[in-house]
Amino acid sequence: MGRSLKKGPFIEPKLLLKVKKLAISGEKKVIRTWSRDSTIFPEMVGFTFEVHNGRLFIPVLVHEEMVGHKLGEFSPTRKFIRHGGRMAREQERGEIAKQTAVVPAKKEKK
């Protein structure tokens, strides 16, 4: 569900202040933040943010296509681990072997 239009998009005030200070100074310094719910504004394009994912900081370089999205969208909080284990890997290898197996040619009768 989107945010109300009369309220406008959310951005942490301290984060916006940091971005504006760096834009004025012209530095391309990395900005570290815990504010995953802040909306990406056009002023943030070109800056690198380190967004906290609950365990560590993930570097996010902001592009024009990201404007309007949230910072947290680009810092995943969960790590995908393939299901299965040894048995699943063996089955997968077997399926690949079946696909790549060479079928012997039929002998012609004279």
Q: For 25-48, what is each residue's pLDDT tens digit?
A: 988 899 999 999 999 999 999 999
Is 85 part of any domain? Answer: no
| Cβ atoms within 10 Å, residue 35 | 19
Is 83 part of any domain? Answer: no
Is 29 part of any domain? Answer: yes
pTM tops 0.85, yes or no: no
Tokens found for residue 73: 């969208």
Task: Tell me the per-residue pLDDT of 72-85, one tens digit each, with 9 for 90 and over.
Answer: 999 999 987 777 77
Buried b (16+ CB within 10 A) or exposed e, 2-12: eeeeeeeeebb
What's 71's domain CATH number?
3.30.860.10
Residue 110 has pLDDT above 70, yes or no: no
pLDDT of residue 23: 92
Beta bridge partners of 92: none
SS3 (DSSP) at 55: coil
Is 64 part of any domain? Answer: yes
Is 105 part of any domain? Answer: no
> How many domains is the chain partitioned into structurally?
1
Which amino acid does the sequence have at 37?
A: D
Whole-number Å distance between alpha carbons of 48 and 63: 10
Asked if 12 contacts 51 with a C-beta cutoff of 8 angstroms, the reply is no
Is 30 part of any domain? Answer: yes
Domain that holds residue 50: 1-78
Using only the alpha carbons of the chain, give its radius of gyration: 25
Is 90 part of any domain? Answer: no
